[in-house]
Amino acid sequence: MKALLPTGRPEEMVELGEAETPKPAADEALVEVRAFSVNRGEVFQLHGPLRLGGRPGKDVAGVVVQAAADGSGPAVGTRVVGHPPADGWAQYAAVPTHSLAALPDSVSFETAAALPLAGLTALRLLRVAGSVGGRRVLLTGASGGVGHYVTELALGEGAEVTAVTATPERGKLLAEFGATVVQDLDEAVGPFDVVLESVGDTTTPRALALLRERGQLIWFGQASRQPAELSFFAFFKGPRSATVRHFHYEHFDEPFGTDLAALVRLVDSGRLHPQIGRQEDWRHTATVLGDLRDRRITANAVLTVTP
């Protein structure tokens, strides 16, 4: 089959080549991939200090061409969205059935491909935060897909959301949804009940200082690539006590498929609106990855797979 293979070259991180068609395990379905999404974390996987090797690809949408041997999951011919652990940038992907959700005809493959990583992260962030209805929520680093999904979902629950983004296009969209948008954290007016922090560096302690007493900061990323320094005594410049929680979207009891199905229902009912900042044929993936690395793309980048 055709697949995107890592090159090790920063100027062209992947290229189309040949790879062996996956042989699914008993609890995996073989999916013919029609579209996939690329994420900044995968850029760092391909190039940079976090380079891990292997073939990336965690956000896919397509059609089941071989059902799981153990009888679990969707039947052959079912349109699906999936979240495999890797290897999704290819014509075929083996996906655990607990990481698949069926797609109605009303949701396109391209829209569905923009859901998994960003949508799952947002849905689970708000699950950790608890009920946010009527609460004040601060979201840093709101320029990407996670920022959009968090904002729309939290506003849908009745939260008051302040989103920090220096990207005018993203800020305009979030404001249209009903968020208060600021370009710099210094413009955010606290205190906040919940802070969702994804930048690191000096942003983390500054955001922490905006919490109310006994508020909660959920730390789910470090987009700056710089570590944050927290001081015990700096708490006294903001809340006297607060909770700081490290977050990883994989560490939940619910399988990915269950939450993917919830996201699909939200999209199908018009309550969630995935935003695609760039859509290209997968032959242009290397260019898209470079633009994503250099922050020339806001929202999700989706590639369509042609025969």
Lowest model confidence (mean pLDDT) among 117-126, 212-221, 254-263, 296-305: 296-305
Tens digit of each residue's pLDDT (9 = 90 or more) over 40-60: 888 888 876 555 557 899 999
In the prediction, which pLDDT does 51 show? Answer: 53
In the prediction, which pLDDT does 49 show? Answer: 53
If 0-12 CB within 10 Å is exposed, 13-18 middle and 19+ buried, where does residue 82 land? buried
Tens digit of each residue's pLDDT (9 = 90 or more) over 140-191: 999 888 999 999 999 999 999 999 998 888 899 999 999 999 999 999 999 9
In this model, does residue 78 exceed pLDDT 60?
yes
What percent of the chain has pLDDT above 90?
Answer: 80
In the prediction, which pLDDT does 184 show? Answer: 94
The mean pLDDT of the chain is 93
Six token digits for residue 62: 């397509």
Six token digits for residue 48: 């940079």
What percent of the chain has pLDDT above 70?
Answer: 98
Tens digit of each residue's pLDDT (9 = 90 or more) over 203-232: 999 999 999 999 999 999 988 889 998 888
What is the three-state SS of the chain?
CEEEEEEEECCEEEEEEECCCCCCCCCEEEEEEEEEEECHHHHHHHCCCCCCCCCCCCEEEEEEEECCCCCCCCCCCCEEEECCCCCCCECEEEEEHHHEEECCCCCCHHHHHCCHHHHHHHHHHHHHHCCCCCCEEEECCCCCHHHHHHHHHHHHCCCEEEEECCCHHHHHHHHHHCCEEECCHHHCCCCEEEEEECCCCCHHHHHHCCEEEEEEEEECCCCCCCCCCCCCHHHHHCCCCEEEEECCCCCCCCCHHHHHHHHHHHHHCCCCCCCEEEEEEHHHHHHHHHHHHCCCCCCEEEEECCC
Q: Other CB atoms closer than 10 Å to residue 214's CB: what's the count? A: 11
At 125, the pLDDT band (50, 70, 90 cuts) reads: very high
